[in-house]
Amino acid sequence: MTTPSGGLRSAKWFAGKDVPGFVHRSAMRASGFSRMAFEGRPIVGICNSWSEVVNCNMHFRGLADSVRRGVLAAGGFPLEFPTMSLG
């Protein structure tokens, strides 16, 4: 992945030497991520509506895993977040 000319937007979260930067870094570290996992990398959100009870969305679990591997291979830091399934 290439770094945009204006820098990474995620630097506002993680690179700051202030209290908010400390809080964001601490939250990631407390979640089990090493500092090298996210420092200096673009964060890529993976929205997933996977659910065991909505059969038309069951394949999204595997799809999100594939997207995660692709983001990691490209040098990014993937973070998955849920969305409501309307099916």
Cβ neighbours of residue 45 closer than 8 Å, sequence gap 6 or more: 78, 79, 80, 81
The reported pLDDT for the residue numbered 79 is: 95
Sequence-distant (6+) residues with CB within 8 A of 5 are none
- Structural domain spans, the chain: 9-40, 42-87
CA distances from 29 to 14, 51, 58, 68, 69 (A): 11, 27, 30, 19, 20
pLDDT in tens, 21-80: 999 999 999 999 999 999 999 999 999 999 888 888 899 999 999 999 999 999 999 999
Helix (DSSP H) and strand (DSSP E) numbers for the chain? 4, 2
